[in-house]
């Protein structure tokens, strides 16, 4: 497996190094997709707060192999928070060939199985965008979190105060939300200075675990004084959310 990279040359080299097997490819069905899905979900260096997608292209069903089962692949998707999108070249659901219907993975993770538009690269890009767009059409959880960036010098606690629809449970607003409908969520954020110094960190607005807005914060702790930033509003209009408001409290 090759890890995620922003290096285009490295990505192309990794693709070129893939062996299709069976004398150049073809005829290998069912395919090794169950093992590959598990490895990608658990082995990739996902960025904290990222929206995570595993996109599989194929023309056959998947098989359980190398000790990897369908249950393992589903558990790996759950653990990583990744959404599975399949681009089907007419065969990923054809269980008469044997193997597992690939839609088992897309349905489980909130993704989709897209019937391929064609072999042209532009068609593939359009299919992938369609799958990602569909995965983003609804959401169920909203919260605010520092994603560990505050470090040991500042303790951050978050409480969901209100949501114009849905329910506040601890630090999270939960409900069945449509991104085409604007919503308002309010959170109470408490910063507690643990050690003296200047502490720079981020507060992220998270939708289904993925960061959709970020604010840079600084707290200076020393001699019994903690400088706390003004209450924030993270504007999320383009994502179907009207805003996330966070009122700050300070502790010494």
Task: Kindly report, residue by residue over 86-143, the tens digit of the pLDDT.
Answer: 999 989 999 988 899 999 999 999 999 999 988 888 999 999 999 999 988 889 999 9
Task: Kindly report, residue by residue over 145-197, the tens digit of the pLDDT.
Answer: 988 888 888 888 899 999 989 999 999 999 999 988 888 899 998 888 888 88
CATH of 8-135, one of 3.40.50.12280, 3.40.50.410, 3.90.25.10, 3.40.50.620: 3.40.50.410
Highest mean pLDDT, choosing among 5-14, 107-116, 226-235, 238-247: 107-116
Q: Give the confidence band of 250 by pLDDT, cuts at 50, 70, 90.
A: very low
Mean pLDDT of 238-252: 44
At 45 the pLDDT is 93
Task: Output b/e per residue, 238-251; b: 16+ Cβ within 10 A.
Answer: eebbbbbbbebeee
Domain boundaries in the chain? Answer: 8-135, 139-251
At 191 the pLDDT is 84
Task: Kindly report, residue by residue over 204-225, the tens digit of the pLDDT.
Answer: 999 988 888 888 888 887 765 5
> Do residues 63 and 97 lie in contact, with contact meaning Cβ atoms separated by under 8 Å?
no
Residue 228 pLDDT exceeds 80? no
Task: Output b/e per residue, 60-95; b: 16+ Cβ within 10 A.
Answer: bbbbbeeebebebbbebbeebebbbbbbbeebbbbe
121/123 Cα distance (integer angstroms): 5
Reference 103, options 117, 114, 116, 119; nearest CA is: 114
Mean pLDDT of 49-53: 91
Dihedral Cα 120, 121, 123, 128, nearest 10 deg = 150
- The reported pTM is 0.72
At 223 the pLDDT is 63
Give the other-Cβ count within 10 Å of 115's Cβ.
Answer: 13
């Amino acid at each position: 497996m090759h890890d995620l990279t922003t290096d285009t040359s490295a990505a192309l080299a990794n693709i070129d190094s893939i062996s299709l097997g069976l004398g150049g490819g073809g005829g290998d069905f069912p395919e090794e997709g169950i093992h590959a899905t598990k490895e990608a979900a658990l082995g990739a260096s996902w960025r904290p707060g990222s929206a995570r997608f595993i996109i599989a292209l194929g023309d056959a069903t998947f098989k359980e192999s190398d000790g990897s089962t369908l249950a393992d692949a589903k558990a790996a998707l759950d653990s990583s928070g990744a959404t599975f999108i399949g681009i089907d070249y007419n065969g990923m659901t054809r269980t008469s060939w044997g193997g597992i219907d690939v839609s088992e993975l897309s349905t489980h993770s909130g993704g989709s199985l897209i019937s391929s538009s064609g072999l042209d690269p532009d068609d593939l890009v359009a299919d992938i965008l369609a799958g990602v767009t569909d995965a983003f059409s609804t959401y169920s959880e909203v919260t605010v979190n520092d994603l560990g960036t505050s470090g040991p010098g500042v303790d951050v606690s978050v409480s969901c105060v209100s949501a114009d629809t849905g329910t506040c449970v601890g630090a999270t607003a939960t409900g069945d939300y449509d991104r085409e409908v604007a919503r308002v969520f309010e959170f109470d954020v408490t910063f507690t200075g643990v050690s003296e110094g200047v502490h720079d960190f981020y507060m992220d607005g998270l939708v289904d675990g993925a960061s959709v807005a970020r604010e840079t914060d600084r707290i200076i702790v020393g001699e019994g004084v903690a400088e706390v930033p003004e209450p924030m509003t993270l504007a999320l209009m383009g994502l179907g959310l009207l805003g996330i408001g966070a009122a700050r409290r300070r502790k010494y």
